[in-house]
Amino acid sequence: MMNNPYILLTPGPLSTSDTVRSVMQKDWCTWDEEYLQLVQTIRQKLVILATHQHIDYTAVLMQGSGTFTVESVIGSVIPKEKGKLLIATNGAYGTRIAKIASMLNIPVAVLQEKENESISPKDIENILLEDPDITHVAVVHCETTTGILNPVEEICHVAKNLGKVTIVDAMSSFGGIEIDVHEWQIDYLISSSNKCIQGVPGFGFVIAKREGIEACKGHARSLSLDLYDQWYTMEKFYGKWRFTSPTHTVRAFYQALLELEKEGGVHERNKRYEENQTLLVDEMKKIGFQAFIDRNRQSPIITSFLYPDDHFDFQSFYQFLKEKGFVIYPGKVSEVQTFRIGNIGEVYPEDINKLVDSIKEYSTIKGAITL
């Protein structure tokens, strides 16, 4: 990658293409018709990526990191006077949703699962049957605390069969794993510009039925994170954001969408991510590193690895790999020592092989891994 000192093996921000970065060289006016058309095209392309039922659905873009957009949904879709949110969590990002809801004074029920176990649809069903006050259900699709994948389609079907509104944090999966919001019965899907679509940070987005967004009117607990008002402004003023939009990020995201299409869409990108992840786990196992998540629960997005022994020095490991051209993530698991390696972005099997060669070199020089 041109002018890049290292590859980001992280779940986002991630390594982007030269062409995605290069289109940010131009400045844009937020009121200009060309820019507004760009926003509208992005919204249309997002809906097309999300479902075959294009007519009923819409997309709304929201400034800030992915968490800003999650908070805009949690704070906008649940009525102030009535509503209770069930949050199923097996990691830090599900727990963050619970914290958001608590700070917004939204009644919450929490289903807490172990970090290396997927959320059980049956457990969701049992809680919903026991507590009729629950109106909304939220779950993270790919929990990047570990890289585990939750059975969102089954969970949403259970919730919808009991008349609940479904909210899915697909931050780290949308664009890299095939999802159909209509078929999966997702009422509100949330993702971000700097994940599997391979743009840069700056905004998140929500994909939902038009009638679902319209039903949010008056529910928001925040001015800047009012999901309905943001959507209404974009609809009425043909792509206009209420407040200053991240224009360079928007343009980069449009380019990233074009490159996703050129690659062959989500199906082909998923194949590349799967190849990256499978190669990584297989090669790491040969040199003494065990994946934290079982293969049948593992996403192709990011992989958590256990420390190989009690003497493993992550900071030394991290710095060595950075000098070799790779940046990885520290662990986020609460009970065991792990580190994480992302498999997404402008990353290919040859990059994974080079990374593994560097890890082998580290183990030889430092004697850090007992083979």
Number of domains in the chain: 2
pLDDT in tens, 230-266: 999 999 999 999 999 999 999 999 999 999 999 999 9
Is 1 domain-assigned?
Answer: no
Q: Are residues 234 and 270 in the same domain?
A: no
Q: Are residues 240 and 257 in the same domain?
A: yes
Q: Are residues 95 and 27 in the same domain?
A: yes
Is 2 domain-assigned?
Answer: no
Q: Are residues 136 and 251 in the same domain?
A: yes
Model confidence, pTM: 0.95
Q: Are residues 221 and 300 in the same domain?
A: no
Q: Which residues of the chain have pLDDT under 70?
A: 1-3, 366-371
Q: Tokens 């060289």 map to which residue?
A: 25
Domain hosting 55: range is 19-261
CATH number, domain with residue 121: 3.40.640.10
Is 277 domain-assigned?
Answer: yes
Q: Are residues 24 and 105 in the same domain?
A: yes
Q: Tokens 């390594």 map to which residue?
A: 15
Instruction: Give me the residues paired with residue 138 across strands.
Output: 87, 167
Q: Are residues 296 and 255 in the same domain?
A: no
Give the closest residue to 248 by CA, choosing from 63, 27, 22, 6: 27
**Per-residue pLDDT, 1:** 46
Q: Are residues 148 and 244 in the same domain?
A: yes
CB 70 within 8 A of CB 100: yes
Q: Are residues 209 and 299 in the same domain?
A: no
Is 91 domain-assigned?
Answer: yes
**Per-residue pLDDT, 365:** 80
Is 327 domain-assigned?
Answer: yes
For the chain, the maximum distance between any two Cα atoms, rounded to a whole number of angstroms, is 63
**Per-residue pLDDT, 368:** 47
**Per-residue pLDDT, 345:** 96
**Per-residue pLDDT, 3:** 63
Q: Are residues 249 and 121 in the same domain?
A: yes
pLDDT in tens, 148-168: 999 999 999 999 999 999 999
Helix axes 349-366, 314-324, angle to 10 degrees: 130
**What is the token pair recorded at 294?**
């079982």
Question: CA-CA distance, 145 to 172, in Å (whole number)?
Answer: 11
Q: Are residues 223 and 274 in the same domain?
A: no
Q: Are residues 236 and 286 in the same domain?
A: no
